[in-house]
A and B are shown apart, each in its own frame.
Chain A
Amino acid sequence: MFWKRFLGVFTARNLEFWRDKESLSWNLIFPLVLVAAFAFLFDSDDRTIVTVGVVQEAQTQDQNTNGAILVPELASLGFVEQVPYENREQALRRLQQHQLDLVIAPQEQRYWLNESSPGSALAAELLSARSDAYAQEVLTGQALRYVDWVLPGILAMNLMFSCLYGVGYVIVRYRKNSVLKRLQATPLSAFEFLLAQVVSRVWLVLATLIVVYLICNAIFSFVMEGSYLLLILLAFMGSLCMAALGLLIAARTRSEELSRGLLDFIAWPMLLLSGVWFSLDGSPEWVQQFAQIFPLTHLLDAARAVMFDGAGFTEILPQIVILIGMTLVFLLVGARLFRWVGDGR
């Protein structure tokens, strides 16, 4: 009986989504347009400084690495930025993706350049003109374009809006126009109803994301170092978490105005501070700490780790655990607070 009632609501909700052609096309076209816009607007990457990754062994790492002179030979050059890396593999991957122009390991007296990056050749010239103590190693690798980097951000943003508003706002609207009251007057339980709302939205979001990704990938062929399955798992966990957050916000209110305000209040800080548009690596420590409260931050960290660093399941396990934890909290509190008819009657 549980599944029969659940399936009833699930099917009805899917039909609504499919027949609402305006929203459906918006869900598909909006991310496509954004990705395309970013691809064309930010394609030319004209950084004016040379960025060098410096691999540091753990024991020699200075307690204050910020602004420390890592490679003295390059220190006098103001336009060279030195970024310390503990992990050589990570630094080399950044070099392959053209995020770094050169990687230097001072202890090993070695440096790496990326043959397919013009900036890398220039940086190598700079270093060899100042010192001949380093042995050269050569890598190749396609540049990680901004569009590659921003793609998970745009997809996650789409996921976030679709889940928050598609669950939260819809429930409040249904409460206000008494659809919920009609459903309450049947044997359908609140749990069956809410579960069907969440599952329906999650699967629709996953389907939309996959379609958008496939279309964009056919045009831009994105960098993908890891497993697609892991990426889908992440999208699943992320949308579950966002839909649960939508439920929590919609638990009681009958006011569409209030719920819109609450949803915006949650969505916009996430949009700005979770690393959708730009990396948080360079932002102040407190911003990075603060961003940890957002599920979107963890989703994006894990998604980018899979896509750009080829991270496996164990490497993104912490983020998955955090997402599951947040989902459970939102669901439990939301289900406890939920009222069919709601406040303000």
Chain B
Amino acid sequence: MKKTEATPILSTRGLTKTYDGVNVVDKLDLDIREGICFGLLGPNGAGKTTTIEMLEGILPPNAGEILYRGKPADKHFFQHVGIQFQHTALPDFLKVNDVLNLFSRFYDSPMNRDELIAWCNLEDILDRDHRKLSGGQKQRLLLALALMNDPDLLFLDEPTTGLDPQARRNFWELVRSVRSRGKTVLLTTHYMDEAEQLCDEIAVLDKGKVLTQGAPRTLLNQYFNGALIRLPVTNFSGAAMPAEFKDAEQQGDFMQLQATQVDATLSKLIASGVSLNGLQVESATLDDLFLKLTGHELRGE
């Protein structure tokens, strides 16, 4: 990091967590700039949750340090951050209203109650037992609890896992509105579309190490040129594969070609007698990036 930049809101040096002799998180160095949405991306078991829980101050690291605004976190840390866990529960028998009351009492200066309720769309469920909420409603309540203290830094651990597409999109809108208020968001996800939609910067984690880090677009441009062209394998059966497409990979029933210039590539294919029926032209996604970096899929394991 250059000295001229402002102090990161959160940074780690050599952060390590060991379970049963295995480094689940391995000497991690991260710098998270204030005001951005930062994504920790990786498959299940990559060490995302362990990392974020150490950053949250919930899990003690085995080695390394965590700095909040350049200093180790003190007892006021929880007054300034908001946390939404992946798996969490609330005390039984409480209504949404009671839960909001409970958490508002924990903070020196809680957010305006009506504003928070409107922000997270909780008006219609205030009198509902929190155990009877739908997945999307529950995530909105948990987000409201994390936002209760109007935090500078918001941690979201796999916030949309298990939500239906509609609820996911609504939740993304909420995260964008948090981000637009100048707050820093740190989220983990194994959905690449979520990271592409929300994150200004991502770090791709695998086996406790950062594989690459940067803005999603920059990373994709760095690892992929142009677009991906996909054609059914059968289209190539009658024609000789042009020499310049030797690096084409077969993925299932499709051949995948990387094209710097799409129209030039297509002209060459036509000239070689390859049919363009079933043609797909796509930009590379983070999924492709992850596959390229690790040789295995992001989602499935």
- Measured CB to CB, the residues of A under 8 A from B are 1, 4-5, 7-9, 11-13, 15-16, 19-20, 174, 177-179, 181-182, 184-188, 341
Given B76, B91, B98, which contacts A174 in the complex, CB threshold below 8 Å? B91
Given B57, B88, B94, which contacts A12 in the complex, CB threshold below 8 Å? B94
> How far apart sit A174 and B91, CA to CA, in the bound complex (Å)?
7
Instruction: Judge whether A178 and B85 touch: CB under 8 Å.
Output: yes
Shortest distance between the CB of A14 and any CB in chain B (Å): 10
Chain B, 118-172, CB within 8 A of any chain A CB:
145
- B240 CB within 8 Å of chain A: no
Instruction: Judge whether B106 and A177 touch: CB under 8 Å.
Output: no
Contacts A5-B106, A178-B87 given: A184-B101 contact, CB under 8 Å? no
Given B89, B98, B106, which contacts A179 in the complex, CB threshold below 8 Å? B89
Instruction: Judge whether A19 and B93 touch: CB under 8 Å.
Output: yes
Given B56, B85, B89, B105, which contacts A5 in the complex, CB threshold below 8 Å? B105
* Known pairs A1-B108, A15-B94 / 14 extra A-B pairs, C-beta < 8 Å: A8-B104, A8-B105, A12-B98, A13-B91, A20-B92, A177-B89, A178-B88, A179-B88, A179-B89, A184-B58, A185-B58, A187-B106, A187-B107, A187-B108
Shortest distance between the CB of B74 and any CB in chain A (Å): 11
Q: Could you say which residues of chain B place their CB within 8 Å of the CB of A187?
A: 75-76, 78-79, 106-108
- B241 CB within 8 Å of chain A: no
Instruction: Judge whether A15 and B90 touch: CB under 8 Å.
Output: no
Given B56, B85, B101, B106, which contacts A11 in the complex, CB threshold below 8 Å? B101
Given B56, B87, B105, which contacts A185 in the complex, CB threshold below 8 Å? B56
Q: B129: nearest residue on chain A (CB-CB)?
A: A19
> How far apart sit A19 and B94, CA to CA, in the bound complex (Å)?
8
> How far apart sit A8 and B110, CA to CA, in the bound complex (Å)?
13
> How far apart sit A243 and B9, CA to CA, in the bound complex (Å)?
42
Q: A187: nearest residue on chain B (CB-CB)?
A: B78
Q: Could you say which residues of chain A place their CB within 8 Å of the CB of B107?
A: 186-187
Chain B, 69-116, CB within 8 A of any chain A CB:
75-76, 78-79, 83, 85, 87-94, 98, 101-108
Instruction: Judge whether B91 and A341 touch: CB under 8 Å.
Output: no
Q: Could you say which residues of chain B place their CB within 8 Å of the CB of A179?
A: 88-91
Q: Could you say which residues of chain B place their CB within 8 Å of the CB of A20?
A: 92-93
Q: Could you say which residues of chain A place their CB within 8 Å of the CB of B91?
A: 12-13, 16, 174, 179
In terms of DSSP, what is the predominant structure of the interface of chain A?
helix
Q: List 7 A-B contacts (CB under 8 A).
A: A8-B101, A11-B101, A15-B94, A179-B88, A185-B57, A186-B106, A188-B106
Q: Could you say which residues of chain A place their CB within 8 Å of the CB of B105?
A: 4-5, 7-8
> How far apart sit A4 and B101, CA to CA, in the bound complex (Å)?
11
Which of B83, B87, B105 has the most chain A CB within a 10 Å cutoff? B105
In terms of DSSP, what is the predominant structure of the interface of chain B?
loop
Instruction: Judge whether B89 and A182 touch: CB under 8 Å.
Output: yes
> How far apart sit A179 and B145, CA to CA, in the bound complex (Å)?
13
5 interchain residue pairs of minimum CB distance: A8-B105, A19-B93, A177-B89, A185-B83, A186-B106
Q: Could you say which residues of chain A place their CB within 8 Å of the CB of B75?
A: 187
Instruction: Judge whether A178 and B58 touch: CB under 8 Å.
Output: no
Contacts A8-B105, A178-B88, A178-B89 given: A186-B94 contact, CB under 8 Å? no
Q: A18: nearest residue on chain B (CB-CB)?
A: B93
Which of A11, A12, A13, A185 has the most chain B CB within a 10 Å cutoff? A185
Q: Could you say which residues of chain A place their CB within 8 Å of the CB of B89?
A: 174, 177-179, 182
> How far apart sit A279 and B105, CA to CA, in the bound complex (Å)?
48
> How far apart sit A177 and B102, CA to CA, in the bound complex (Å)?
18
Instruction: Judge whether B98 and A15 touch: CB under 8 Å.
Output: yes
> How far apart sit A18 and B43, CA to CA, in the bound complex (Å)?
44
> How far apart sit A340 and B94, CA to CA, in the bound complex (Å)?
21
Given B88, B93, B94, which contacts A181 in the complex, CB threshold below 8 Å? B88
Shortest distance between the CB of B186 and any CB in chain A (Å): 14
Q: Could you say which residues of chain A place their CB within 8 Å of the CB of B108?
A: 1, 187
Q: B106: nearest residue on chain A (CB-CB)?
A: A186
Q: Could you say which residues of chain A place their CB within 8 Å of the CB of B59?
A: 341
Q: Could you say which residues of chain B place their CB within 8 Å of the CB of A181?
A: 58, 85, 88
Shortest distance between the CB of A200 and any CB in chain B (Å): 11
Instruction: Judge whether B94 and A182 touch: CB under 8 Å.
Output: no
> How far apart sit A186 and B99, CA to CA, in the bound complex (Å)?
13
> How far apart sit A39 and B165, CA to CA, in the bound complex (Å)?
63
Q: Could you say which residues of chain B place their CB within 8 Å of the CB of A15?
A: 93-94, 98
Instruction: Judge whether A9 and B85 touch: CB under 8 Å.
Output: no
Shortest distance between the CB of B34 and any CB in chain A (Å): 21
Shortest distance between the CB of A212 and any CB in chain B (Å): 22
> How far apart sit A178 and B103, CA to CA, in the bound complex (Å)?
15
Shortest distance between the CB of B149 and any CB in chain A (Å): 8
Shortest distance between the CB of B111 and any CB in chain A (Å): 14
> How far apart sit A4 and B102, CA to CA, in the bound complex (Å)?
10
Q: Could you say which residues of chain B place their CB within 8 Å of the CB of A177?
A: 89
> How far apart sit A174 and B94, CA to CA, in the bound complex (Å)?
14
Q: Could you say which residues of chain A place their CB within 8 Å of the CB of B56?
A: 185
Q: Could you say which residues of chain A place their CB within 8 Å of the CB of B106?
A: 5, 8, 186-188
Q: Could you say which residues of chain A place their CB within 8 Å of the CB of B102?
A: 8-9, 11-12
Q: Could you say which residues of chain A place their CB within 8 Å of the CB of B79?
A: 187
Q: B92: nearest residue on chain A (CB-CB)?
A: A16
Shortest distance between the CB of B17 and any CB in chain A (Å): 12
Q: Could you say which residues of chain B place their CB within 8 Å of the CB of A182?
A: 85, 88-90, 145
Q: Could you say which residues of chain A place their CB within 8 Å of the CB of B83?
A: 185
Shortest distance between the CB of B145 and any CB in chain A (Å): 8
> How far apart sit A12 and B103, CA to CA, in the bound complex (Å)?
10
> How far apart sit A188 and B108, CA to CA, in the bound complex (Å)?
11
